[in-house]
Structure 1
Amino acid sequence: MAKRFIFALIVLLLPLFTRSFSPDQPTDRRLLVLVDDLAVRSSHSIFFKSLQSRGYELEFRLADDSKLSLQRYGHYLYDGLVLFAPSVQRFGGSLDQAAVLDFVDAGHDLILAADSSASDLVRGIATECGVDFDEDPEAVVIDHIGYAVSETDGEHTLIAADDFIQSDVILGATGIEAPVLFRGIGHSVNPANTLVLKVLSASSSAYLANPRTKLSSPPSLTGSAISLVSVVQARNNARVLICGSLDLFSNRFLRYGVLKSGSSKKHDKSGNEQFVTEISKWVFHERGHLKAVNMSHHKVGEEGEPAMYRISDDLVFSVEIYEWSGSSWRPYVADDVQVQFYMMSPFVLKYLPTDEKALYFTSFKVPDVYGVFQFKVEYQRLGYTSLSLSKQIPVRPFRHNEYERFIPAAFPYYGASFSTMVGFFIFTVVYLYNK
């Protein structure tokens, strides 16, 4: 009896100690931060404090801690993972590459920062997320034109990057005001992969190479094909940030003034702090997270949803869409939301106007085709979580007693029938009584 009581108590209390992503409260709150050295906690304290000031609970652990685990009794212990351990060869405890990928597949978020010491484990995680670091472990990003003027850097590996993605939802409406300092390794993304987006790209004069050796062959990556920071939004709306520079998040780079080569304007402070703050808001769903609720439909003049429609019925369709602001849901306003009335292919495709209070609605006539249809709302927009909703409804033809008594389009057939009858009657009379 005592064992049963303890087991029941654990089952009841476990949800209180474990948290997972909630559609009604999508902002991740409990984050696991894995580091190579606990000194990163102080050298990158500005970034961590910015997360804590926004309500996040950070748990710092060494990446090779023997007690590491992301889940317990089938429940995930954390909502997000910050992997600041580029040189780790093997995770501790039950954590491995497959566990990290399963964590993302379960809908959780990941920030991964690498550098020139990136291990095969870290590179493997990035590859599985759709990002490929250069095979040469010594190759770093070099830019002899777009470098940051510095007294301590003569190899032009300290870059002042300002080629940002044009997206207010990912980087904020104000935009990044100063160039971002970057020192590290670059990566490439497959242009055919629509899930991966380059957030910060290198300039056209950049290339990947070992600064301590002379180039003997053309660089593997050059120009804007080099991505410095990329993000991935998976089909389950989990978000991943991959960066080739751990220093980009450091206090030194966040406080450092920046003067880009060839520019006369010196910024007293780099754009790193603004950049990492804005991008982390997006990664952890403080921006760009949508939900759709109350999808409904009914006949014009009625209120309840019918069990089926008849061809040529007039109907009204509506759905409510909200955006998470980091603390509450607010109406999402856009002019590109569509509804499909779908059976094998869309028979009706209409844009949904909005009342700017989250309600999207339209009306249309059921097509003159009967079968099993679906109302489908599939919405994908850069930086926002995707929406995919559907509701099935059958459409029947007219019953035999629902047609009009006389159909105007059939008047020629009516005339032909009656004229045939009259002609036959006249023929019969003439045939029988004519001698």
Structure 2
Amino acid sequence: MAALGKPLLLVVLLAVAAVHQVGAFSEETPTDQRILVLLDDFGIKATHSMYFKSLTDRGYDLHFKLADDASLALQKYGAYLYDALIFFAPTFDVLGGSLDVAVILDFIDSGHDVVLAAEGGASDVVRDIATECGVDLEEEENAVVVDHVNHSSLDADHTIVAASDLIQSKAILGPKTIEAPVLFRGLGMSVNPSNELVVKVLTAPPTTFSSSPSAKVAKVPTAHGRNLVLVAALQARNHARVLVSGSLDLFSDKFFLASVEKKTPGAAPTNFEKSGNEQFAVEATKWTLHERGHLRATNVRHHKVDEVAEGAVYRIRDEVEYSLDIQEWDGAKWVPYHADDVQLQFFLMSPYVRKALTSNKKGHFSTTFQIPDVYGVFQFKVDYHRLGYTDLNLAKQIPVRPFKHNEYERFIGAAYPYYSSAFSLLFAFVIFGVVFLYNK
């Protein structure tokens, strides 16, 4: 039994370690791998098959479950079982297993990602999650987004809106421009303009409003025009990402393949055989799952010019070089990041030096500067925030000392007037002494 005990214990420890590895955020491979997909019914797998296929084709491991499944759990033995959650169950008021709003919010607070889709009649669960992520869904009963100008012919009530007002960010929507309008049928949303963590990914056209399709609109609705947000995104301070869509149909095969007409004031309409939904949904999901826009800094170094070793302390007026490598994750590997707006601050209560870092176009950034004539405990700071990218917050403390008594120059030019006045006084005293002693 003793001989069998050690191998058995080793197997148990390896199994526990493996469980802890699943769902752990790794700086080496930040892209999510295991995804839990919660559905209203399994028919969504068929109606949204193109979207799910785009995920499996990129190597994701999808686990489909109904939202009321009694075995639902995001954690086991304190470790997360999934890296991300796709919530396509907008009508369930009660979730199964150990899942509830607090558990999903804790999942996000732990650095994991969520794709959330709503529709008309969305449940309180969906509304509460969206609200905690900085997005408020339209609360009026039976209200959906309506547009009598920019709409699709698929619906006579004009509740399928053709929206083209996309966020101008290659990090979020990819380098290729989405030409065709995106079809949307669902709930309008609003975000707090002062919330810097939430961005509007897809905004409604100016002719859009939120109302019940069967109701007569007697006055201008509160939610209308560009005040209505159709898709929003949150990037939390822990780098967790949440994509909130007011429409579940936006991800459907029907909308992916539908033709659409783009209307431009003062010009003839442009017809597209295929909507921009597939490109939009795929690219936005790539960003949400950290396939794009995730940065890291490596090889952060500082030293005196013409030296190699990093200094433990610097002296005022020293010439110092600071450098680092910045890389971006492209979904499969780390590639050099290209930018010309990365800055370094040499900081003591406030920046004494602020300089742009020069890039060699291969992800290496560097600069040289002279330490100011102020001593104290300074910081090398790189505080980089750009739309769609994870933040870089680098800080390294370094003491700066004054000159030692034997490091000052023996004679300084600014003191020559004082030197001359001293010697002239001595010379005058000698002349005065000679005249006083020997003059009759």
Within the alignment, does 1:218 sit opposite 2:223 as a pair? no
Label 1:35 to 1:3 Cα distance change in 2 as closer, same or farther (>3 A): farther
C-alpha displacement of 1:379? 0.8
Within the alignment, does 1:335 sit opposite 2:340 as a pair? yes
Q: 1:400 aligns with which of 399, 405, 410?
A: 405
For residues 219-234 of structure 1, what are the structure 2 equivalents within 5 Å?
219-234=221-236
Q: Partners of 1:175 and 1:36 in 2: how far apart? A: 33
* SS in structure 2 at match of 1:156: coil
C-alpha displacement of 1:261? 6.3
The corresponding residue for 1:37 is 41
Q: Partners of 1:421 and 1:212 in 2: how far apart? A: 106
The corresponding residue for 2:70 is 66
User: Which stretch shows the higher mean deviation, 168-177 or 56-65?
Assistant: 168-177
Within the alignment, does 1:102 sit opposite 2:102 as a pair? no
Q: 2:161 aligns with which of 151, 159, 162?
A: 159
The C-alpha deviation readout for 1:46-84, integer Å capped at 9, x for no partner, is 101110000000011111222221122222111111000
The corresponding residue for 2:30 is 26
C-alpha displacement of 1:424? 5.6
For residues 193-208 of structure 1, what are the structure 2 equivalents within 5 Å?
193-208=195-210
Gapped regions of structure 2 (runs ≥ 5): none
The corresponding residue for 1:90 is 94
Q: 1:388 aligns with which of 385, 393, 398?
A: 393
Whether the 8 Å CA contact 2:263–2:270 is kept in 1: the answer is no
Q: Partners of 1:431 and 1:311 in 2: how far apart? A: 51
C-alpha displacement of 1:126? 0.3
Whether the 8 Å CA contact 2:375–2:402 is kept in 1: the answer is yes
C-alpha displacement of 1:433? 8.6
C-alpha displacement of 1:393? 0.6
For residues 35-434 of structure 1, what are the structure 2 equivalents within 5 Å?
35-150=39-154, 153-260=155-262, 264-422=269-427
Label 1:416 to 1:61 Cα distance change in 2 as closer, same or farther (>3 A): same
Kindly provide the amino acid, as one letter, of the partner of residue 80 in structure 1: A
Whether the 8 Å CA contact 1:169–1:383 is kept in 2: the answer is yes
* SS in structure 2 at match of 1:277: helix
Identity of aligned residues (%): 55
Whether the 8 Å CA contact 1:118–1:137 is kept in 2: the answer is no
Q: Partners of 1:6 and 1:424 in 2: how far apart? A: 100
Whether the 8 Å CA contact 2:323–2:367 is kept in 1: the answer is yes
Kindly provide the amino acid, as one letter, of the partner of residue 191 in structure 2: V
Whether the 8 Å CA contact 2:203–2:228 is kept in 1: the answer is yes
Gapped regions of structure 1 (runs ≥ 5): none
Q: Partners of 1:65 and 1:4 in 2: how far apart? A: 38
Within the alignment, does 1:14 sit opposite 2:16 as a pair? yes
Whether the 8 Å CA contact 1:341–1:347 is kept in 2: the answer is yes
Q: Partners of 1:114 and 1:403 in 2: how far apart? A: 71
Label 1:87 to 1:302 Cα distance change in 2 as closer, same or farther (>3 A): same
* Aligned residues between the structures: 433
* SS in structure 2 at match of 1:122: helix
Q: Partners of 1:37 and 1:180 in 2: how far apart? A: 25
Q: Partners of 2:213 and 2:344 in 1: how far apart? A: 54
Whether the 8 Å CA contact 1:291–1:322 is kept in 2: the answer is yes
* SS in structure 2 at match of 1:349: strand
Kindly provide the amino acid, as one letter, of the partner of residue 190 in structure 2: S
Whether the 8 Å CA contact 1:288–1:384 is kept in 2: the answer is yes
Label 1:186 to 1:4 Cα distance change in 2 as closer, same or farther (>3 A): farther
RMSD value over aligned CA atoms? Answer: 2.1
C-alpha displacement of 1:234? 1.2
Kindly provide the amino acid, as one letter, of the partner of residue 114 in structure 1: A
Q: Partners of 1:10 and 1:342 in 2: how far apart? A: 50
Kindly provide the amino acid, as one letter, of the partner of residue 334 in structure 1: A
Whether the 8 Å CA contact 1:148–1:260 is kept in 2: the answer is no
Whether the 8 Å CA contact 1:149–1:261 is kept in 2: the answer is no
Q: Partners of 1:421 and 1:7 in 2: how far apart? A: 92
* SS in structure 2 at match of 1:90: coil
* SS in structure 1 at match of 2:358: coil
Whether the 8 Å CA contact 2:346–2:380 is kept in 1: the answer is yes
* SS in structure 1 at match of 2:31: coil
Q: What TM-score, normalized by structure 2, do the two folds share? A: 0.93
C-alpha displacement of 1:265? 3.2
User: Which stretch shows the higher mean deviation, 99-108 or 53-62?
Assistant: 99-108
C-alpha displacement of 1:158? 1.0
